[in-house]
Structure 1
Amino acid sequence: MHLRHRSLPQLGGQMFVTDGGIETHLIFNQGEDLPEMSAYLLNMSERGRDTMREYYRAYIPIARQAGQGFLFDTNTWRANPDWGLKVGYDAAGLRAANMAAVAFCREMQAEFAAAGVPSIISGVLGPRRDAWQYDRQMTVEEAETYHTPQVEAFAAANADYVTAYTLTNVPEAVGIARAARRSELPVVLSFTLETDGNLPGGKPLGVAIAEVDGTTGAYPAYYMINCVHPIHFASTISTGGDWVSRIGGLRVNASMLSHAELDNSPTLDIGDWTDLAQRYARILPMLPNIRVIGGCCGTDHRHISAICDACLPGEHHPH
């Protein structure tokens, strides 16, 4: 364990609730126009920031009633060079956007604190390529170079740590870990899985974690799984080895559909949040170091409320 990681409250046993799938919720449920799923564009206008404020406020009673902290993941999954260019953002614009996203979360952090909910802020990175395909992966060196500007922006904005979501391959994960280490930021790496419970391309999750840990000196604070329904990875966890103890968070999809099916769907599949919560509750006991619970595509505050009901027994949450 690296000394700098010990300051992360979730590593001291504190549990954190986080939000659902921000991009799918804003696009399909709120009618927002988010080119290339670039939710950070909302931070650039007062109307957009109001939308984001209302989005997060729905989670105050959920976290408070669960008696847990809240994790603010910045809305910057697509705020990296290749995706930024598609919406007109150059390097300077992206640096400003990433820093602004952290500043916005700091503003919301004060509102949550006033309501009695402690919180932390993670600067979010996404993959360079399509998040659900395995082709054209970078080398470790290319990945480190590519992701370094975004990591440096988060460091400059004093994010508590960085999280890379929806990763599909080991070299990109290692490159991001190296970039974070160079900026002296803790890093969390979250892999996405296919319906067979493996990474796109077929690598088993346990192998991927072992390879990243072996290459980086176990630099990542922990790992997560995101953008997959529990039905597709429950057996991966139940039959896993020691690497299961490295899983510290889940952001699950509402839908049981595959990535390919979801990608081609014109509508949002919100699934069954009661069933999702029950599946979540069956998986958590197999994950001794789970500290972050949240959702991904198709989920919103209703799913997270149901998950908290099932996994964090206490007061009842309104759905």
Structure 2
Amino acid sequence: MSVFEGCKMARKLPDEGDKKFLVYAGTGTDLIFNHGIELPGFASFPLLEKPSTRDVLAGQMQALVQLAGELGVGCILDAPTWMANADRAAPLGYDAERLREVNKDGVALMEEVRMAAGRDDVLVSACVGPRRDPYADIPPMTVEQSRNYHGAQLAVLKETSVDLVTAYTFNRLSEAAGCVLTARDIRLPIIMSLVVETDGCLADGTKLVDAIDQIEAETDGAALFYMVNCSHPTHFADALNAHPRLKGVVANASSCSHAELDEADTLDEGDPVQLGKEIADVMRENPSIRVFGGCCGTDMRHLREMALEVDRR
């Protein structure tokens, strides 16, 4: 048994108890609007290769660890690998070998942050994203195509110290199912996080809970659990229906639609206090939720208000 495998076995994943975990998936908008850092193709993994921007990536997660410690919750550190797949990396000049190394390096940076924290309630996750823009009107992959495609990145991540993988912003059912099956095949715990539109449905009109049930049936319940991300609570609050397999909510600061946010040239940071109350309300109505946090437009202010309100209720 390797040292990494032993560490993984010693840590409890978010579905193994009552402890809540804070997560920060809003790093991209934070980098652009708050740090003035350009993201080529909205990919953050190239920032790993420059010491100055690498330090910023580490700093974002160090702030998360500090906040979680102050508020008495665990946290999940997401490696900046959401777009580090073949199709999205190729236009940025990354071949297969360079892509392999940057995936490993993203996890290594998160491991450095975790080791400095010295806590057993800090988990390291690697982000994986859909093959193409989740908001584009394009045909989905088949389940088998998805298994083959996502298998390349997941196989690399399996070689690292990650505790789990989080598949963020998926909205095509066959691709989501294929990604989950691939993770199951290589024994890598995976959270499948879906994205909904302002009506609480996926882009093709499928209700969120129906999407979860369909993926569950296709994969024989292989995902660790499900989340919803990159949406505002007013979009998904009425769509969760206390589904027992949905255990995470990672919310946008803005209540605008994805199309509106895509056209925005300024950051809509919403109201951190109100967002905190809305997340706490969602979690009260959906007691299975163990993971919560912020997506686009959020920063530590939003996460602090969420955690404070969740603790009060």
TM-score (norm 2): 0.93
Alpha-carbon separation, structure 2, partners of 1:40 and 1:56: 14
Aligned to 1:201: 204
Q: Does 1:100 align with 2:99?
A: no
Q: Deviations over 1:39-77 (max 9, x none)?
A: 111111221221122222222331012111110111111
Aligned to 1:86: 91
Are 1:69 and 1:118, in contact at CA under 8 Å, matched by a contact in 2?
yes
Aligned to 2:245: 246
The gaps in structure 1 that reach 5 residues or longer are 315-319
Alpha-carbon separation, structure 1, partners of 2:252 and 2:302: 10
Aligned to 1:68: 73
Aligned to 2:140: 137
Alpha-carbon separation, structure 2, partners of 1:106 and 1:58: 15
1:33, distance to aligned residue in structure 2 (A): 1.3
Aligned to 1:52: 57
Q: Deviations over 1:180-237 (max 9, x none)?
A: 0121101110000000000011011111111111111100010000000000111112
Aligned to 2:277: 278
Aligned to 2:82: 77
Are 2:25 and 2:78, in contact at CA under 8 Å, matched by a contact in 1?
no
Question: Percent identity over the alignment?
Answer: 36
Give the partner amino acid of 1:106: E
Residues 27/117 of structure 1: CA separation in 2 closer, same or farther (3 Å cut): farther
Q: Give the alignment of 1:165-244 within 5 angstroms.
A: 165-237=168-240, 240=241, 244=243
Give the partner amino acid of 1:30: H
Q: Give the alignment of 1:10-25 within 5 angstroms.
A: 10-13=14-17, 14-25=19-30
Q: Deviations over 1:224-253 (max 9, x none)?
A: 00000000111112xx26xx1111111100
Aligned to 1:124: 127
The gaps in structure 2 that reach 5 residues or longer are 1-7
Are 2:229 and 2:252, in contact at CA under 8 Å, matched by a contact in 1?
yes
Alpha-carbon separation, structure 2, partners of 1:166 and 1:132: 9
Are 1:64 and 1:117, in contact at CA under 8 Å, matched by a contact in 2?
no
Aligned to 2:34: 29
Alpha-carbon separation, structure 2, partners of 1:20 and 1:274: 18
Alpha-carbon separation, structure 2, partners of 1:287 and 1:175: 27
Alpha-carbon separation, structure 1, partners of 2:10 and 2:180: 17
Are 2:272 and 2:301, in contact at CA under 8 Å, matched by a contact in 1?
yes
1:94, distance to aligned residue in structure 2 (A): 1.1
SS in 1 for 2:169: strand
The count of residues paired between Structure 1 and Structure 2 equals 305
SS in 1 for 2:192: strand
Aligned to 1:161: 164
Alpha-carbon separation, structure 2, partners of 1:36 and 1:8: 35
Q: Deviations over 1:123-159 (max 9, x none)?
A: 1101111122342211111111111111011101131
Aligned to 2:45: 40
Are 2:134 and 2:171, in contact at CA under 8 Å, matched by a contact in 1?
yes
Structure 1 outlier segments of 4+, above 3 Å: 4-8
Residues 21/86 of structure 1: CA separation in 2 closer, same or farther (3 Å cut): same
1:295, distance to aligned residue in structure 2 (A): 0.8
Aligned residues: CA RMSD: 1.8
Are 2:11 and 2:120, in contact at CA under 8 Å, matched by a contact in 1?
no
Alpha-carbon separation, structure 2, partners of 1:105 and 1:249: 21
SS in 2 for 1:254: coil
Are 2:45 and 2:106, in contact at CA under 8 Å, matched by a contact in 1?
yes
